[in-house]
Chains A and B, each alone.
Chain A
Amino acid sequence: MIVSVSHRSVYRYDAPLRLAVQSLRLTPSHFDGQKVLSWEISVEGGTRGGAFRDGAGDWIESWSVRGPADRVEVAATGTVDTTDLAGMLRGHRETVHPLVYLRETPATMIDTALADLAAGAARGATSPLDTCHALSNAVRAAIAYRPGVTGAHTSAAEALALGEGVCQDHAHALIAAARSLDIPGRYVSGYLLADQDGKEHEAAHAWAELWVGELGWIGFDPANACCPNDLYIRIGSGFSAQDAAPIRGIASGPGAEALDVTVAVTAGQQ
């Protein structure tokens, strides 16, 4: 499927910034399920710095904006040809060993409730893949989709206690639940073509990948109770939302920052 993306982030400052530096993980991954037809990143008034593919296979670009400036606009636009691989990350080149993703982060700490959820879900599972599906379903059942109740720093344990959250919370909870069973898991940032089924979705999306032995990394999207298919565009991964963030930046200056994000994901060429 041909999917087009236009992702704009506008940072506004109430006092001029001196220098903004950004690390952008904002380019679709290379693997058998995605072929990038065109992709462009631009930062208004910015200078492009180093660019490289990291050990996890993500393309990283560094940008800086020298002040004085009162806004920074980051835009990523392009078109990707996607194929449904039922969540499999086939043909993705990376050097990070899966065991690295057993690391605990503040967002993915395991508490008793998460461990119980995982143990309950795994009971009766007939294969490692089956276990992962069961975990994803259990997370979906335990955390209802509801925007606005959780925030950027809500942990998996807190979201589970609330019983509500968004895709970030689902992904964190799935990673923590998997790790409680010694299954490596990681956070994935990307986009979702949302207007196909008429339901409410987030266009800038996140899900989790779990390591399923010989099958490698497989994506699970608890928020939509499925594995990523050709409606998904994968951008990059990390231990948590913070580690996998498409944009990590710091502006120096006295001003307070306000962020405005618009993401449009559409079928076909733009």
Chain B
Amino acid sequence: MSMAPAFFNEMFDDNGIRPHYAKLGDWTQHMPAELRQMKQAEAEALFRRIGITFAVYGEGGDPDRLIPFDMFPRVFTQPEWRRLERGIKQRAKALNAFLVDVYGRGEIIRAGRIPARLIYGNEAYEKAVTGFVPPKGVYSHIVGIDLVRTGPDDFFVLEDNCRTPSGVSYMLENREIMMRMFPALFRENRIEPVDAYSTILRRTLASVAPAKCESDPTVVILTPGHYNSAYYEHSFLADLMGVELVEPADLFVEGGFVWMRTTEGPQKVDVIYRRIDDAYLDPLCFRPDSMLGVPGLMDVYRSGGVTIASAPGAGVADDKAVYTFVPDMIRFYLGEEPILQNVPTWQCAKADDLKYVLDHLGELVVKEVHGSGGYGMLVGPKSTEDQIAYFRTRIEEDPDNYIAQPTLSLSTCPSFVEEGIAPRHVDLRPYCLVGEKIELVPGGLTRVALREGSLVVNSSQGGGVKDTWVLAE
């Protein structure tokens, strides 16, 4: 297997196969091309049968297309994972402390650690929830932290997702399908299970029930509806947790509580795991032109009658310009040094940074502050003169809307491709659950850039997914 030396290969080092990949090495040795093709077709049929199709939120694309599934698993050792886990939990804790702070006294701003305008002038900052502390002081209950690796011990956080990170259904389904297709692999390797995710999610949501809830809390998932690109995931999680999947029209507000219409009459709802954007939650508080939403929901929320997860306003913590301050948040709120590093980021809003970025467009990755899904993004080294010139104009027109980062040498993991097995770049999104406790299942969603040489793992840009293993000790 040949490999450009600049990239860290997670399976191979100079001495050959790393020990934790050894059994996978044997596995591929004994897999002829025909068997592999057969298995690949089987995996695709399984994915299609369960109905999980192209649906990473915000990415658009053909809703009926499958995200390519790469059967070659990605493996972490127990020590690697323990460090990641500590780093992720630390970050999730600091992000929540930040949210409680900026909707309260704003100590981090008073202390001069974060510019006031960046927060108070932020589109994602919700005036409507200032002064309100949600149950247990949690704003972001499901924190998706996107990580990349550049060396044996070098992990960087690419971005935080504090609103409603999607993709966890892939983490669970990828594992399910691998276990079905290759049971022997799971006997030979001691792999930490991830299937406790739905139980922990349910427990996390129940733990943040409002004070007014006096019995076993009723949890629901609120979806915009079946036309939403992540609807599969909404219904999948509702099934796994054994809770109702509701649309806004199934809920109404009366007497200070939220009620769900059921065949046996109205049932009080205590915790809403919403997969709807803030703007569409309640036309009486946010967009009055919205036909979606539950009128009066925000009044119930703010008077302590229901919990909304993630809390409205949580988005201000995952803004790409706010991202650069997360290490400061960790120091400020936790008095600790960050375990996971940020990618160095230039903010085009700053004159010096802007100049640097415009002088080095050919080597940088440029992103829109509010963009997602790999659109509105320039990968300098992979771009044509025309593309760079186009971005130059856009940045000059609206510098505040852009940040830039160095082009990282993303690690690679072996992947099944047309020609056999080849290294492809990967990232990782673990899902950290925050309620009374902060918990994380050992695993996450590994996205892989299946196009040779590509560094963009987004499914809309030719990315696929893999099962992610954490080996037990």
Contact = CB atoms under 8 A, between A and B. Distances in A.
Interface string B121-140: 10001011111100000000
A250 interface: yes
A49 B302 contact: no
B30 interface: no
Contact of A23 (B125, B284, B305): B284
B106 interface: yes
Interface string A97-119: 10110110000000000000000
Given A21-B252, A21-B253, A64-B254, A56 B127 contact: yes
B130 A96 contact: yes
Contact of B255 (A56, A64, A103, A250): A64
Interface in A59-111: 60, 62, 64, 66, 94-97, 99-100, 102-103
A44 interface: no
Contact of A97 (B106, B129, B298, B303): B106
Contact of A100 (B105, B120, B300): B120
Contact of B256 (A49, A97, A249): A49
A66 B261 CA distance: 14
B296 A97 contact: no
Contact of B299 (A62, A95, A102): A62
B60 interface: no
Contacts of B296: 21-23, 49, 62, 64
A111 to B, nearest CB: 19
B252 A54 contact: no
A48 B299 CA distance: 11
B3 interface: no
A250 B252 CA distance: 12
B19 interface: no
Interface in A1-40: 19, 21-23
A47 B252 CA distance: 13
A50 B128 CA distance: 15
A148 B344 CA distance: 56
B303 A47 contact: no
Contact of B132 (A49, A55, A239, A250): A55
Contacts of A19: 252, 254
A62 B121 contact: no
A99 B110 CA distance: 13
Contact of B127 (A22, A60, A100): A100
B104 A95 contact: yes
A126 B256 CA distance: 50
A55 B298 CA distance: 13
B257 to A, nearest CB: 8
A102 B254 CA distance: 34
Interface residues of B, number: 35
A133 to B, nearest CB: 26
A250 B283 CA distance: 8
Interface string B304-320: 11000000000000000
Interface centre among A22, A60, A97 (most CB of B within 10 A): A97
Contacts of B131: 53-55, 94-96
A64 B253 contact: yes
Interface in B419-472: none
Contacts of A146: none
Given A21-B253, A23-B284, A52 B117 contact: no
B295 interface: yes
B116 A50 contact: no
Contact of B302 (A48, A60, A64, A95): A60
Contacts of B257: 49
Contacts of A262: none
Contacts of A55: 103, 127-132
Interface in B266-287: 283-285
A102 B116 CA distance: 12
Nearest to A64: B254
Nearest to A100: B120
Nearest to B288: A242
A49 B127 contact: no
Contacts of A64: 253-255, 296
A268 to B, nearest CB: 34
A49 B117 contact: no
Contacts of B283: 250
A64 B305 CA distance: 15
A39 B253 CA distance: 25
Contacts of A48: 255-256
B132 A249 contact: no
A51 interface: yes
Contact of B254 (A23, A51, A54, A66): A66
A45 B296 CA distance: 17
A49 B253 contact: yes
21 contacts: A21-B295, A49-B253, A49-B254, A49-B296, A49-B305, A53-B131, A54-B132, A55-B129, A55-B130, A64-B254, A96-B131, A97-B120, A99-B120, A100-B125, A102-B120, A103-B127, A242-B288, A248-B285, A248-B288, A249-B295, A250-B284
List the 8 closest pairs (A to B, CB-CB), nearest first.
A50-B303, A55-B130, A55-B131, A62-B299, A99-B120, A95-B131, A49-B256, A21-B296
